[in-house]
Structure 1
Amino acid sequence: MLDFIYYPVSFILWCWHKVFGFVLGDNNAIAWILAIMFLTFTIRGIMFKPFVNQVRSMKKMQDFAPELKKVQKKYANDRQRQAQEMQKLQREHGVNPLGSCLPMLLQIPAFIGLNWVLRAFSIQPKDGSPKTNNYFFDQQGVDSYLHAKLFGVNIGDAIHHATVLGGTGGGWNWNVAPVAIPLMILASILTHLTARHSAARQSAAAAEANPQTAMMQKLTMYVFPLGVLVFGAFFPIGLLVYWLSNNSWTLMQQRLVYTKIDKEEEAKKAAAKEKRDSLAPKPGAKPKPGQKPVQQTKATDTPTDSDTETTDETPSDTKQSNGQKDKAGSPHRFAQQGQRPQNGRAQQRKKPASGGKNSGQKGSGQKRR
C-alpha cells in the first residue's frame, strides 16, 4: 500500500550500502550503519530548503508577534473574527503557518519507510522458504543484512520484537539491551537539545501570541525525548542509528542556518543605519569655501525695536558690509536690508522746519534730493 515510500527509501539505502560495502565488505555492520546514516543525510539534504524557509517564517512571526497579540486581545470574545484577522495578518507578512511544520511532516514518511524496510529483512514468507528479496535488495543483500553484527548483536534486532504479518522471533531479547540502551539515551538527549535550541530562537511574545507554537515546543522538548527513551525498545538497532543521525544532523544544521540568518539581519541593520547616517546632516559641519548659507527674507517683514536699535547704533558696520557711503540716518539703509524705518523717525525727517522762507527753501531742497 505504501510502496511509493518503501521503494525510494530502499533504493537510497541500497546505493549507499553498495558504496560502503565496496570498501568495508558487504557483511560488515559498519557498512550498513554508514549506509543508514547517509540515507538520513540524503533525506535531510533534500529537505534543506524547506528547513531554511521554516526558520525565516519563524523569524517573521517573531517580528509581528505584538500585532498578533493586539488582534487576540481586540477580538477575545469573537474567536471566528480573531482567526480571520490573524490569517489576514499572516498573509500580509507572507507567513505560512504550515511552513514551520513542513520539514517535520516530510520526515514522517522517511521514518515509516525505513522502519518497514529494516523490519522486512527479517520477515520470512509464510511457506517457510528463505527470503529472496526486499524491495531493491536481492537475496544476497538480505543475507548480508541478516548476518551483519555490531558487538555481537544483529543490527536488525530490537529489545522487543513484535510479530508482524506472520513473522517469527517475537518477544523480549535482552541480549540486545547493552547496544540498544546507550543508543536510546543518546537519541533522547539529542532530541531534547535540538528542540531546546530551536525554542531558544523564539521570543516569549511570539510563543504567547501563537499558543500552538508554545504547545509544540513543549511536545518536542519533553514528550518526544521521553517517547524515544520508552518506545526505543521496540526499534531495531538500525532505526535507532537513523534517529541518532537525524537529530545530530538537525542540531548541526540549526546552528549553521541560524548563524547565517543572524549575520544577514545584522548586515541589513548596518546598511539601513549607514543609509540614514548618509542622508542626515552631520553635526558641526562647516560650509564649503565660497558657499553662502541660504536665507529667505521677506520684504514685508517688520523689524523689531531691538533690530532697529542695533542697526542705528552700528551704522558703520552696515555701510562697510554693503559697500555704500550712505548717511547713518538715510532711509535707503533700511530699504537695502528689507526693513522699514520706524514711524517716529520717518515723521521726524519729513516734518518741515517752522518759518516761511526757510521752510520753503528746505522743502524745495528736500524735493531736489
Structure 2
Amino acid sequence: MSDVLSALLSPITNAVAVVLAATHDVAGAVGLSPGSAGAWLLAVLLLVVAVRTVLLPVTIHGVRSSHARAHAAPQLRELRQRYAGNRDLEQLAAMRAEQKAIHAEHGVSGWSLAPALLQLPLFYALYRVVADLTAGHAVGALDAGLVASASAASMAGLHLTSHLGPTLGSDLPAGLVLLAAAGGAALLSLLTQRWFVLPMTNVADLPEGMATVQRFVPWIGAIGVLVAAAVVPAGLIAYWLFNNAWTFAQQGLVWRFAPTPGSPAAARREAAAALEGAVS
C-alpha cells in the first residue's frame, strides 16, 4: 500500500524535491557553506515557507467554508429537531430539500472540504522528501551528491541524520539540543490546538463523547510528536518544528481576526469589540 501511494504521489514528491534543492541553492547564495547544517536547516525552513505559502488560498477557503457552515448550523439544528424520528419518505425528501436550500443560502458546498483534503498529498510529499533526505535516500532533484552533503552536515555535534536516543547516550549536550527541538515542536502543536483550534470549535453541536475526545486531541497530538521524535532523524524534527511554528502563527491570526461564528473565540472577539466601543 505504501509503495502504491508513493508511486501515485511521485510527481508531487519530485516537485517538492526540486523546491528543496532550490532552497538549498538559496542558502548557499546568502553565504552559508552548501555542506553546512545551517544551509540545510535554512533550506528546510524555506521549503516549509514555500509550501505553506502556496497553500494559503486553500487555508482561506477553509476558513470561509467553516464560517458558512457555522452560519447555517442553527437552522440545520432546528431542521433536524423538527424531523427527528420521522421515517416518512416524502417528509424525508422535504427535509433534504430544506437542507439543500439552507446550504445554498449560506454558501455551504458539498465540496467545501475537498480543497482542504487536497493539501494532504502535498503535506505527505513534504514529509516524504525530508524523510528520504535525512535517511540518506536520493529523491528526484536531490541526487546522491546532495544527500551525501546533507548526511555529512553537522552543527553542535548534531547531524540531520542523528537520532535522539543514540545522541543522548554519546553526546549529552547535543542530545539535549535535539530533545529541546522535539519538545518545542510538541509544545507548538499543543498550544495551537488549545489556544486557537479548540476555542474556534463549537462543541454544542457535537455528541458528548465526541466533545470529550475533542478536548484530548491537543495532548494526543503533542505526545505523538514526542513519541515519533524518539525514532525519526533530526532533520524531520527540524521540519516539524518549522512547520508547527507556521501553523501556530497562522491559526493565531485566524483566531484573532476571523474566528468561527458561534465559537468561544468569536464570543471573545465580540466582547472585546463591545468593550472597545463602550470606552471610545
**Paired residue for 2:192, among 188, 191, 194?**
194
Q: Which runs of 5+ in 2 are unaligned?
A: 1-6, 260-265, 271-280
The CA deviation at 1:39 is 0.8
The residue correspondences of 1:201-216 to structure 2 (distance < 5 A) are: 201-202=200-201, 204=202, 207-210=203-206, 214=211
Conserved? CA contact 2:131–2:235, under 8 Å? no
For residue 226 of structure 1, what is the aligned residue in structure 2? 223
Structure 2 counterpart SS, 1:234: coil
Structure 2 counterpart SS, 1:76: coil
For residue 15 of structure 2, what is the aligned residue in structure 1? 8
Q: Which runs of 5+ in 1 are unaligned?
A: 125-130, 161-171, 270-369
Quick one: structure 1 residues 52 and 39, their matched pair in 2 at CA, closer, same or farther if it must change by over 3 Å? same
For residue 40 of structure 1, what is the aligned residue in structure 2? 48
The CA deviation at 1:8 is 1.1
2 CA distance for matches of 1:123 and 1:141?
Answer: 12
For residue 147 of structure 1, what is the aligned residue in structure 2? 152
For residue 77 of structure 1, what is the aligned residue in structure 2? 85
The CA deviation at 1:33 is 0.8
Q: TM-score, normalised by structure 1?
A: 0.56
2 CA distance for matches of 1:91 and 1:53?
Answer: 17
**Paired residue for 2:128, among 88, 107, 116?**
116
**Greater CA drift, 140-149 or 246-255:** 246-255
| Number of residue pairs matched by the alignment | 242
2 CA distance for matches of 1:92 and 1:233?
Answer: 50
For residue 273 of structure 2, what is the aligned residue in structure 1? none
Query: Is the counterpart of residue 51 in structure 1 residue 59 in structure 2?
Result: yes
Q: Deviations over 1:258-289 (max 9, x none)?
A: 44447xx9xxx9xxxxxxxxxxxxxxxxxxxx
For residue 92 of structure 1, what is the aligned residue in structure 2? 105
Amino acid at match of 1:114: L
The CA deviation at 1:244 is 1.6
Q: Deviations over 1:325-348 (max 9, x none)?
A: xxxxxxxxxxxxxxxxxxxxxxxx
1 CA distance for matches of 2:211 and 2:61?
Answer: 20
For residue 178 of structure 1, what is the aligned residue in structure 2? 176
Q: Deviations over 1:132-190 (max 9, x none)?
A: x5320233312210111132121123337xxxxxxxxxxx6644743332222111111
2 CA distance for matches of 1:101 and 1:198?
Answer: 20
Quick one: structure 1 residues 119 and 236, their matched pair in 2 at CA, closer, same or farther if it must change by over 3 Å? same
Conserved? CA contact 1:114–1:239, under 8 Å? no
2 CA distance for matches of 1:20 and 1:238?
Answer: 16
Q: TM-score, normalised by structure 2?
A: 0.72
The CA deviation at 1:226 is 1.9
Identity percentage over the alignment? 29
Structure 2 counterpart SS, 1:64: helix
1 CA distance for matches of 2:198 and 2:79?
Answer: 23
The CA deviation at 1:123 is 5.8
Amino acid at match of 2:105: E
Conserved? CA contact 2:71–2:106, under 8 Å? no
Structure 1 counterpart SS, 2:21: helix
Query: Is the counterpart of residue 251 in structure 1 residue 244 in structure 2?
Result: no
Structure whose residues are more often helix by fraction:
2
